[in-house]
Amino acid sequence: MRFLRRCAGTASYLVFLLGTHVIVFRVLSADDRRRVLEAISTNLADMTNWTAPFRLVASALVVDTSGVVLDQILIIGLGIAVCLSWLEYRLGTLRAFGIFATAHVLATLLVLGVVAYAVHAGHYPDEVRHDPDYGVSFGSIGAIGAVTWLLHKWLRIPWAAVAVLYPLTAATWYGRLPDYSSVGHVLSGAIGVALSVLVVRKARADRAAPDVTRP
């Protein structure tokens, strides 16, 4: 019960994601669903106007269910239900969701740069600029990478390697360049590992430091 109380933020987020999933994919008509997903998409064509900040937030409020079942288990089950809740339990709600949001936003923005370059260089087709791009996977994989420093020392390197490189196992390749979604997942894993060193390691060190007060 103590664990559940200290992970209330993650639990609430999961309930919210379930609610948005039911509304978007079960209640709305096909046309309304398309309009909603277009409104929250962070593709390159739509991220060049004033709606960009709204899209960055809203895109993490609806789960992309277009992938295979294993993808959903990893993203929702491992990334959010397990890793994000563990981060919240160990670091607090603000730090945990700060890590999640940082991975989501940074990976999204970096992917935009990759897409712009790849389309300009002829690696990606131009229609990639308009592909719907939303979901919680960047933040989720960031959380997976961010728990690295919470693990035993002998697990840290293999865990970090899997968090960063596993997305490439399902990548579609355009010459030497994987698809932009896989690029984003690799980047979010790397961001999570970096945040694990910067934030998680520091938080653990702060808790381990002796409490020295003035007499």
Residue 173, beta-bridge partner list: 178
Helix (H) or strand (E) holding 178: strand 177-178
pLDDT at 205 over 70: no
- CB-CB contact of 197 with 149 (8 Å): yes
- Rounded Cα–Cα distance for residues 114 and 103 (Å): 16
* Residue 213 pLDDT: 46
User: Which three-class secondary structure state does DSSP give residue 182?
Assistant: helix
Q: Which fold has domain 2-205?
A: Rhomboid-like fold (1.20.1540)
- Comparing 190 with 197, which gets the higher pLDDT? 190
Cβ-based neighbours of 201, under 8 Å, separated by 6 or more: 149
Chain segment 122-155, per-residue pLDDT in tens: 999 999 999 999 999 999 999 999 999 999 999 9
Question: What is the pTM (predicted TM-score) of this model?
Answer: 0.92
